[in-house]
């Protein structure tokens, strides 16, 4: 059996989503549709939540943006792109700027879709052979004295902060930043989270590179500015390697 490929479908036309989803379910059992979205905002939220392997992405999605806007807001999340559009004139920009895994012009055939999926399978296999520690669906199961156990998806974790022999995890829940304490040292948390997506900016801080907006030098040290108006320290010993790690994360080969 072929390895499952987790996909997200983003298209402003519900008919196009239903057609593509139907084709995938009927002819491609190796495809697992994680979700669908009809707007850029919804697509971004679902990409952050699910961390798909592949996104089937429409380009023109009026009046609230385009596929290019979606990709700009998803920088740092690693997934492949197959464009699905009724406008072939976008092909040059899409191929030159984004380098998608495939480009399908609507209405496309099952055979065209099959070729695109085969290309995606080749790309995913090559990526996983090179770096198996992808964010994917990794989650932490955190004991909570009020709720028993809480499942925290790695994709939702913004950063972790050491607090003596324990640590605090700051993560997104219902679009709000919340925190939960865990009786583990930061080194243990670091070992449980994907190494390609999390990095120690400081001996007391572990950050999710997906949420990093920028770095700023402050004297010999620095600050890491994260989404949701959060900033954490960047030690002088970590500064150069963190910068290289962040660049490689946002601009993979």
Do 14 and 111 reside in the same domain of the chain? yes
Residue owning tokens 């492949």: 80
| 17 three-state secondary structure | helix
Domain boundary among 86, 107, 130: 130
CATH number where 21 lies: 3.40.50.2300
Q: Which residue has the higher pLDDT, 75 or 34?
A: 34
Total number of domains constituting the chain? 2
CATH number where 147 lies: 2.40.50.1020
Q: What is the mean pLDDT of the chain?
A: 85
Do 105 and 200 reside in the same domain of the chain? no
Residue 9 maps to a domain? yes
Residue 55 maps to a domain? yes
Residue 135 maps to a domain? no
Note the pLDDT tens digit of each residue in 73-92.
886 567 899 999 887 776 66
Q: What is the pLDDT of residue 182?
A: 87
Kindly state the tokens that stand for 57. 């992405």
Do 32 and 146 reside in the same domain of the chain? no
Residue 203 backbone dihedrals phi, psi, to 5 degrees? -60, -20
Do 174 and 212 reside in the same domain of the chain? yes
Cα–Cα dist 153/142, whole Å? 10
> Residue 39 carries which DSSP code?
S
Domain boundary among 130, 155, 173: 130
Do 220 and 150 reside in the same domain of the chain? yes
> Which residues touch 66 (CB under 8 Å, ≥6 apart)?
40, 59, 60
Residue 136 maps to a domain? no
Cα–Cα dist 22/16, whole Å? 10
Do 202 and 168 reside in the same domain of the chain? yes
Do 16 and 99 reside in the same domain of the chain? yes
Task: Name the residue range of residue 184's domain.
Answer: 141-250
* β-strands 205-208, 198-202 pairing: antiparallel
* β-strands 221-226, 102-105 pairing: unpaired
Note the pLDDT tens digit of each residue in 40-79.
989 988 887 777 889 999 988 888 788 888 988 886 567 8
Do 122 and 18 reside in the same domain of the chain? yes
Residue 157 maps to a domain? yes
Q: What is the pLDDT of residue 167?
A: 92
CA 101 from centre of chain: 17
Do 150 and 209 reside in the same domain of the chain? yes
Is the pLDDT confidence value at 136 over 60? no
Do 126 and 145 reside in the same domain of the chain? no
Do 44 and 92 reside in the same domain of the chain? yes
Kindly state the tokens that stand for 192. 């449980």
Residue 65 maps to a domain? yes
- Distances in whole angstroms, Cα of residue 144 to Cα of each of 91, 131, 150, 151, 219: 50, 33, 6, 10, 39
Residue owning tokens 């490689």: 248
Residue 47 maps to a domain? yes
Do 118 and 202 reside in the same domain of the chain? no
Residue 103 maps to a domain? yes
* β-strands 148-153, 139-144 pairing: antiparallel
Contact 21, 8 (CB under 8 A): no
Is the pLDDT confidence value at 2 over 50? yes
Q: What is the pLDDT of residue 135?
A: 44
Note the pLDDT tens digit of each residue in 139-194.
777 776 566 677 788 888 999 999 888 999 999 988 899 999 888 889 888 888 87
Domain boundary among 100, 130, 160: 130
Cα–Cα dist 243/39, whole Å? 33
| 96 three-state secondary structure | helix
Q: What is the pLDDT of residue 19?
A: 96
């Amino acid at each position: 059996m072929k390895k499952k490929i987790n996909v997200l479908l983003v298209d402003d036309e519900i008919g196009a989503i239903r057609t593509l989803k139907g084709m995938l379910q009927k002819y491609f059992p190796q495809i697992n549709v994680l979700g669908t979205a009809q707007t850029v905002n919804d697509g971004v939220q679902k990409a952050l939540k699910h961390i798909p392997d592949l996104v089937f992405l429409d380009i023109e999605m009026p009046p609230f943006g385009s596929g290019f806007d979606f990709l700009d807001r998803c920088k740092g999340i690693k997934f492949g792109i197959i464009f699905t559009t009724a406008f072939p004139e976008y092909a040059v920009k899409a191929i030159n700027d984004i380098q998608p895994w495939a480009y399908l012009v609507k209405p496309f055939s099952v055979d065209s879709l099959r070729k695109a999926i085969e290309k995606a399978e080749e790309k995913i296999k090559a990526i996983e052979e090179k770096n198996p520690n992808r964010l994917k669906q990794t989650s932490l199961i955190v004991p909570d004295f009020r709720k028993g156990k809480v499942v925290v998806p790695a994709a939702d974790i913004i950063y972790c902060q050491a607090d003596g022999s324990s640590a605090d995890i700051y993560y997104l829940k219902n679009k709000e930043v919340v925190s939960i304490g865990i009786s583990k040292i930061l080194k243990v948390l670091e070992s449980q989270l994907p190494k390609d997506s999390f990095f120690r900016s400081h001996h007391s801080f572990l950050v999710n590179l997906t949420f990093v907006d920028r770095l700023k030098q402050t004297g010999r040290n620095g600050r890491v500015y994260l989404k949701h108006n959060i900033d954490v320290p960047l030690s002088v010993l970590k500064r150069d390697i963190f910068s290289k790690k962040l660049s490689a994360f946002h601009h993979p080969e």
